[in-house]
Structure formats: C-alpha cells, structure tokens
Amino acid sequence: MKKFSVVVAGGGSTFTPGIVLMLLANQHRFPLRALKFYDNDGARQETIAEACKVILKEQAPEIEFSYTTDPKEAFTDVDFVMAHIRVGKYPMREKDEKIPLRHGVLGQETCGPGGIAYGMRSIGGVLGLVDYMEKYSPNAWMLNYSNPAAIVAEATRKLRPNAKILNICDMPIGIESRMAHIAGLKDRKEMCTRYYGLNHFGWWTSIEDKHGNDLMPKIREHVAKFGYVPPTEEPGTEASWNDTFVKARDVCALDPDTLPNTYLKYYLYPDYVVKHSNPAHTRANEVMEHREKHVFGSCNAIIQAGKSSAGELEIDEHASYIVDLAAAIAFNTQERMLLIVPNNGAINNFDPEAMVEIPCLVGKSGPEPLVVGNIPQFQKGLMSQQVAVEKLVVEAWEERSYQKLWQAITLSKTVPSASVAKAILDDLIEANKEYWPELK
C-alpha cells in the first residue's frame, strides 16, 4: 500500500496530539512515510512536537518525523496538508468573545461579530498555507478545518478557486455520534443521514439505519425533551458544551421536520445566549483553563519523562473523519461525507455560489455533492441572510472595505442595529490592528 507524507499546519494546536494518535491508530488504512508539523509560533509548536516525537518513536519509529517554522521545509514533498491554525491564538479568541458582549451582543468563536473578526484574521492565514502548498507540493490536497470554516471556505472559493482544498467540520460528526447513542446504536456510521446548510448553520432531514428504517421519530422525540444528551451521558463533556447540547431541544422546536446543528442556537436564541454569558469569563477562558492546560501539561510531562505514559493525551476519535477524507482521496473510496462545497445547484432554490455543507461522495478527484433539491422558506431565509454576511466579510477583506464589514456585522442575525454593529466594529478594528488588513 502506498505510504503518504503529511504536514500538519498549526502544529502547536491543542488538537495536534489527539490527531497524531488517531493517525497512528489508522495506519492500516492510511499509512504514513513522513509526518511534519508547521507553525509560525516555534515555541508553542516545540512543546507539542517534542512530545509527539516521543509517541512516534514508541509506536511508529519508521515514520520520518520533523517540525519546522520554515514553509519551504514544511510544504515540500507532501501529499496532504492537514490545516488547523488559529490566527491570533486564544488571546484573540477571548477578545472575539468579550468585545461583542460589551455591547450586549453574543460573543462566540465562529458566530456573530466574534466569528466575523476571526474570519478577518483567518483568511490571510489560510490563503498563505494554500500558496505554500501550491508552490512546494502542487499535487497535494489541503484538508482544512481552520475556523471559521464558513468564511474560510468562501474565501478559498472566491480567491483560490482552483486550489485543491476541502473544508470540513466535526460538529455534525459529534452530534451524529450522540444521535446514534440516542437511537441505541454503537456508532454514527451505522446511520445514513441527509443534511444541508452552511457550516455551523444546518439541519438533518433524514436519518436511517443501514436497513433503511427511519430513526428521525425516535431521535426527535428524545431531542425535543433532552436535547442531544443521550440517556447515558457522554464522558468528559464540559458544562458549557452540555448546555449547548441541551438547548438543541428549543432549537428543534422551530421546525418539526428537521433536526438542527447546535450552532443555530446562537442565531435563533441570541438573547438567551447573552443572558447566560459571563462577560468576564467566556469559552476562550474555559479552553485556556482546561484543554490548553491539559494538553500542554501532558506534553511537558512526556518530554520530561521521555515516555508517553507520563502524559494523559487521548486519541481524538472524532478526528477520524480526517482519515476518512484523506483515504477517500488517496484510494478513491467514494466515502460519503459532509463537506463544505460550492452549492452549484445541489440546493436547487439557493445561491449556486454559496458554500454549503452537504453530503458528498469523495474520490481521487475530490467531492461529488449529492442533490438536496428545494429547501423550505424558513431555512432559505435564514441561510440567505447568513451567507450574505459571510460573502460580505470576504469582500471586505479583499477590498479592505470598512463599509462592507459594517454591513456584514449589521446583517448578522445576532446584532440588533447598525449603530451597535458600528460600535462593535470600531472596537474590533482596534483589537485586531496586528492581524486585519487596514480598512479604508
């Protein structure tokens, strides 16, 4: 079987160790000859990389491992780029979440003004990775899950239309795992689902088991009462995430014929979210206090002891969708996966140039979207507004346009007025001076 060379862009990510452990657990179906990390923060990356070096030596010494901050070294001779960068890192995520709250608007990583600010930072970062890949390994594919995936996907569609990049998200994976447990199944892959929307803004329309039995009624009955919290709680779910899964019961009330992505709570219940937010302590603080502390603490312990058992790093099971995708391209498996792709008529009554999250069959030449057909007025109206926000952000970045970014924030369903939007925008410009292009 052919062996592949992968570079992880954003090697210093808290998700990198879990993904490395997942790659090692999937060598039978996606074998590696080389694994590289690339990051523009050498110190952050070094801690993660040195710990992963110990793990790789123990489990797969035959895989050539290295890490670098040099793009040429990182992107030369690679088959796949797995990209999970966070431009501005957690300190900027904290500002994305706290600045809108100062103005009575929800602060969230990928939604509303926070997501727009994050998008304005991410576009340049991800396009830079695409350009390195095309310069040093023109035949490679980029599997991107750097957020905000919706805005990044629109930017790559518009500004790098020929790039071999696939934009993906693990939220539907996480929710489907819970749905499977609610339905009494072991694994989400025992289900066949139909879904449509934008990234972090979608709905399931059909969920069947492998025999074609309709699971929607049973799952929906549970979700309407308990949200996406299975009868036996998923271990390790943090309180704020549990709140989000429970809130799905109110989100699903809006449409009895579908089941919602959890992120719709931010657009349908923004007042609830603001009321339950602590402007002094947001999700970014929780992640720095928990995931970041846990991952870097474990990595340092592994480095000190020189053995992986000194740490408590866990395999990121959900991340196996990344190998599903890489294997589908490498071996033309025609895997059926949710990807963020140009609509191009798949949703018949929606903008053909929108980037939509829909089921695709994936083979060596990339994704082939499945037809969705017409969508109802409720979803069409919501998606039209949200996709216009995402498109305006990319236009604002490309044209350095204050006006268009003001329009984007004003148009967001999470923002009450143009005056509040302008106040938030002016604060975000000040906070992002190091990262955004200068707007005129």
Catalytic residues: 170, 263
CB of 202 to ligand NAD, least distance (A): 12
The phi, psi pair for 43, rounded to 5°, reads -65, -45
Angle between helices 402-411 and 112-136 (to 10 degrees): 120
The binder of ligand LEZUNG72 chosen from 155, 287, 299, 358 (CB under 6 A): 287
Among residue numbers 141 through 180, which ones bind ligand LEZUNG72 (CB under 6 A)?
147, 169-171, 174
Q: Cite the DSSP H helix spans in 183-269.
A: 216-226, 239-251, 265-268
48 Cβ contact partners less than 8 Å away, ≥ 6 residues apart: 11, 12, 13, 16, 17, 37, 295, 296, 299
Binds 23: which of ligand LEZUNG72, ligand NAD, Mn ion, none (CB < 5-8 Å by kind): none
By beta carbon distance, the residue nearest ligand NAD is 12
CB of 147 to ligand LEZUNG72, least distance (A): 5
CB of 240 to ligand LEZUNG72, least distance (A): 8
171 vs 327 by CB, closer to Mn ion: 171
CB of 76 to ligand LEZUNG72, least distance (A): 29
Among residue numbers 81 through 140, which ones bind ligand LEZUNG72 (CB under 6 A)?
109-110
Would you tell me which residues interact with Mn ion (CB under 5 A)? 169, 171
The two three-digit tokens of residue 205, written as one number = 């329309």
x/- map, 234-263, ligand LEZUNG72, by CB under 6 A: ------------------------------
85 vs 216 by CB, closer to ligand NAD: 85
> How far is CA 85 from its chain centroid?
11
Return the closest-CA partner of residue 436 out of 404, 389, 414, 388: 404
How many H helices and E strands in the chain? 17, 12
> With contact defined as beta carbons under 8 Å apart, do 185 and 164 qualify?
no
By beta carbon distance, the residue nearest ligand LEZUNG72 is 174
Whole-number Å distance between alpha carbons of 293 and 312: 12
Whole-number Å distance between alpha carbons of 4 and 78: 8
* Residues of the shown chain interacting with ligand LEZUNG72 in the complex, contacts defined by CB under 6 A: 109-110, 147, 169-171, 174, 283, 287, 318
